């Protein structure tokens, strides 16, 4: 995926579900969503171990099906081999996201192919924080 496409995705996204959100500040699954929240994205955490906790202005939910609103992007912080277990959950969403972004080190070509076949864009093995900064994108006002 080229920089023009990455820029379009990051600029058009407003709401992000973070699959695999973490509560430890030293973990990427915490500081990346924290950054996204800080620069104006609406961030919803998804992690059964943190369900019910309030993080980044929203209550963390256990599953994607429990999200209170439709999201534009799912930002995935799960190991590559666990992605097939989330495929049906993503495809069962009442309003599917436009993009599934697999964080740095996360890649599964079969899952990506299936999502693309269903009309969902996929970014693999890239960091939303790093790309946002590298592309010089500005913070947006709150939604």
pLDDT at 140: 77
End-to-end CA distance of the chain: 27
For residue 29, how far is the Cα from the chain centroid?
10
Query: What would the pLDDT profile of 64-75 be if each residue is shown by its tens digit?
Result: 999 999 999 999
pTM for this entry: 0.95
Task: For residues 32 and 45, give the distance between their C-alpha atoms in angstroms, rounded to a whole number.
Answer: 12
pLDDT tens over the chain, length 143 residues: 899 999 999 999 999 999 999 999 999 999 999 999 999 999 999 999 999 999 999 999 999 999 999 999 999 999 999 999 999 999 999 999 999 999 999 999 999 999 999 999 999 999 999 999 999 998 876 54
Domains and their CATH numbers in the chain:
3-134 (3.40.50.720)
Residues 106, 81 contacting (CB under 8 angstroms)? no
How far lies 45's CA from each of 35, 36, 62, 82, 115, in Å?
Answer: 13, 12, 8, 18, 21
37 and 60 in contact (C-beta within 8 Å)?
no
pLDDT of residue 139: 85
């Amino acid at each position: 995926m080229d920089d023009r496409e990455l820029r379009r995705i990051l600029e058009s996204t407003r709401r992000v579900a973070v699959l695999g959100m973490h509560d430890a500040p030293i973990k990427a699954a915490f500081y990346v969503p924290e950054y996204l929240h800080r620069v104006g994205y609406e961030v919803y955490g998804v992690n059964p171990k943190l369900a019910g906790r309030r993080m980044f202005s929203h209550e963390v939910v256990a599953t994607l099906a429990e999200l209170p609103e439709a999201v534009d992007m799912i930002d995935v912080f799960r190991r590559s081999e666990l992605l097939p277990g989330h495929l049906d959950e993503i495809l069962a969403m009442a309003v599917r996201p436009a993009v599934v972004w697999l964080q740095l080190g996360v890649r599964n070509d079969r899952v990506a192919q299936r999502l693309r076949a269903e009309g969902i864009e996929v970014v693999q093995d890239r960091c939303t924080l790093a790309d946002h900064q590298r592309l010089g994108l500005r913070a947006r006002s709150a939604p």
